[in-house]
Amino acid sequence: MVRARGLAVLIIATFVAFACGGSSGGSGSKGEIDIASDLPTSGSDASSGLPTQEGANFAVTRAATVRGFTLKFVPFDDAVNGVHDPAHGVQNVQAMISNKLILGMVGPFNSNVAKAEIPVANAAPLAMMSPSNTNECLTVTYPYCQSADGFTAESLRPSTVNNYFRVAAPDTFQGPAMADFALKAAPAGLGITKIAVWDDEETFGTGVANNFAKEFAAKGGTVVDRKSYDPKAKSDFHDFLASAKANGAQGIYVGGTSATGACKARGQMAGLFNPDIYYLGPDGMGDAQCLTDSGSMATGNMYATQGVADATQNPSAATIVTAYKAAYPGASNIGAYTFAGYDCAAILIDAIGRAIDANGGNAPTRAQVITALGQTKSFQGLTGVITLNAAGDQTTPTLQFQQVQSGAWVFKSQFAVGGTS
């Protein structure tokens, strides 16, 4: 009996202690605000999606609160069987919309997922902040967008108010930038005057290859061989390579991605070309799969563009990058878009903060967050100083050149490119 009463006292004491602890901790919090992410984080896509999610998560954890509201990170995975899936992405966005605490999302990773998600999020509305989408038609309506991609920036936004923003440079810059780089004399460039240009017959690949070829020819270079391949049917590139060689190409630019076999031909070059032959391509090529396909030809003269700046080149980002590396020490924790993911979450938190201020210190509506996001100016991000325009692009996005060294893609150089109007 005595023992039972003792237990009751102990339980009551514990309750009181917890209640006090709870109230003392909660006295500063005005409530919870959630930031979601939608990225492919399982299967083979996880190699690029997961490190991006970790970057965004790190930004939310590091901020912890905004204007007295507690921040929480809510990640979603849009991969089905290991590959990003637009329909699954839409389901995720619908789940986000039904969760009133979520005021914005980081993502998606892939342009075709963005194409499916933007209309749904736009109708809600829900702020989207993508670290890695590069399709130029997502933000700006070019004459070819409807016929080539089946949509325009306007058709994706039924409410006519833009809710979608991104930090990566659109595809329109990748081809011309690589062409200038290839033509420029060493060491600033590669000093190539004759080049073969291939594409994978896909919207993205054909677009970058044509833009590359146009710029290369306009600046005095010669495209000696122009070919397209069907990635489903073409696995033997020996004939393409023989043709490039017969035409005197000093290198090959492939408008394609690793998924469409852009680097298989590099693997077949062994013996036919010297190992120092140049092999150039867009961001879709700058990954580990490309190096696998290249085999023994994964040498220093492979270059790819990336749509975001390298945060490790930014001195003012050093503290946070070091802190991230301490929190996520694995080599696979840093991908090409990790710090872009961080920036996206940080920009969202910044915009939510300004929206709270504008709302008299109360929790803002989603529409208010979108308005604040569109007013982002000179934000000090890890990947650079970011200003967003009305269309959803950075005013001066950065392109990065990467080169293969000792079996890995490493930073070569980067520069700002003119933003879209």
Partner 1 sequence: MIGALARMPSTLRTFGSSQVSNLVGLLIVAGALVLTLQHVLQHSASFFFQILIIGIADGTIYGLIALGYTMVYGIIELINFAHGDVFTLGGYFSLALFPIFGIAEGKPGFGYVIPLLIVAAITMLLCGVVNVAIERVAYRPLRHAPRLAPLITAIGMSSILEGAMYLWRGPFSLHYPDLLPLTRFNIGPVNIGVKDLIVIAFAVILVVAFTLFINLSKLGKAMRATAQDRDAAQLMGIDIDRTISATFFIGAALAGAGGITWGLYISSVDPFLGFITGLIAFTAAVFGGIGNIPGAALGGLLIGLIRAFSDSYFDSSWTEVLIFGILIATLVFRPTGLLGMRVPEK
Q: What does the binding site for partner 1 look like in residue numbers (CB under 8 A)?
A: 43-44, 81-83, 201, 227-230, 232-240, 242-243, 246, 258-259, 261, 264, 267-268, 270-272, 289, 292-296
Task: Please say whether the beta carbons of 227 and 196 come within 8 A.
Answer: yes
Q: Output 103 or 304, the one with its CB closest to partner 1.
A: 304
Q: Across-strand partners of 198?
A: 227, 254
The DSSP element (H or E) to which 74 belongs, if any, is strand 69-77
Q: Output 257 or 314, the one with its CB closest to partner 1.
A: 257
Cβ neighbours for 412, distance < 8 A, ≥ 6 positions apart:
303, 400, 401, 402, 403
The distance of closest approach from Cβ of residue 116 to partner 1 in the complex, given in angstroms and rounded to an integer, is 21
| Residue 97 to residues 92, 120, 182, 252, Cα–Cα distance (Å) | 9, 9, 46, 46
The distance of closest approach from Cβ of residue 228 to partner 1 in the complex, given in angstroms and rounded to an integer, is 6
Q: Output 292 or 316, the one with its CB closest to partner 1.
A: 292
The distance of closest approach from Cβ of residue 82 to partner 1 in the complex, given in angstroms and rounded to an integer, is 6
Cβ neighbours for 277, distance < 8 A, ≥ 6 positions apart:
250, 251, 252, 269, 301
The DSSP element (H or E) to which 354 belongs, if any, is helix 338-358
The distance of closest approach from Cβ of residue 390 to partner 1 in the complex, given in angstroms and rounded to an integer, is 38
Q: Output 236 or 357, the one with its CB closest to partner 1.
A: 236
Question: Burial code of 89-108, b = ≥16 C-beta within 10 A, e = fewer?
Answer: bbebbeebbeeeebbbbbbb
The distance of closest approach from Cβ of residue 119 to partner 1 in the complex, given in angstroms and rounded to an integer, is 28
Q: Output 268 or 414, the one with its CB closest to partner 1.
A: 268
**Rounded Cα–Cα distance for residues 307 and 410 (Å):** 14
Q: Output 235 or 365, the one with its CB closest to partner 1.
A: 235
Q: Across-strand partners of 66?
A: 69
The distance of closest approach from Cβ of residue 83 to partner 1 in the complex, given in angstroms and rounded to an integer, is 7
Q: Output 209 or 372, the one with its CB closest to partner 1.
A: 209
Q: Output 219 or 238, the one with its CB closest to partner 1.
A: 238
Task: Please say whether the beta carbons of 252 and 269 come within 8 A.
Answer: no
Q: Strand 127-130 relative to strand 164-166: parallel, antiparallel, unpaired?
A: parallel
The distance of closest approach from Cβ of residue 89 to partner 1 in the complex, given in angstroms and rounded to an integer, is 18
The distance of closest approach from Cβ of residue 257 to partner 1 in the complex, given in angstroms and rounded to an integer, is 11
Q: Across-strand partners of 403?
A: 303, 410
To which residue do tokens 């914005």 refer? Answer: 104
DSSP string, 193-207: -EEEEEE-SSHHHHH
Q: Output 29 or 292, the one with its CB closest to partner 1.
A: 292
The distance of closest approach from Cβ of residue 230 to partner 1 in the complex, given in angstroms and rounded to an integer, is 7
**Which one-letter amino acid corresponds to residue 379?**
F
Q: Output 117 or 293, the one with its CB closest to partner 1.
A: 293
What is the 8-class DSSP label of residue 304? E
**Prior bond to 86 cis, omega within 30?**
no
To which residue do tokens 């677009």 refer? Answer: 207
The distance of closest approach from Cβ of residue 201 to partner 1 in the complex, given in angstroms and rounded to an integer, is 7
| 390's tokens | 């009305």
**Which one-letter amino acid corresponds to residue 260?**
T
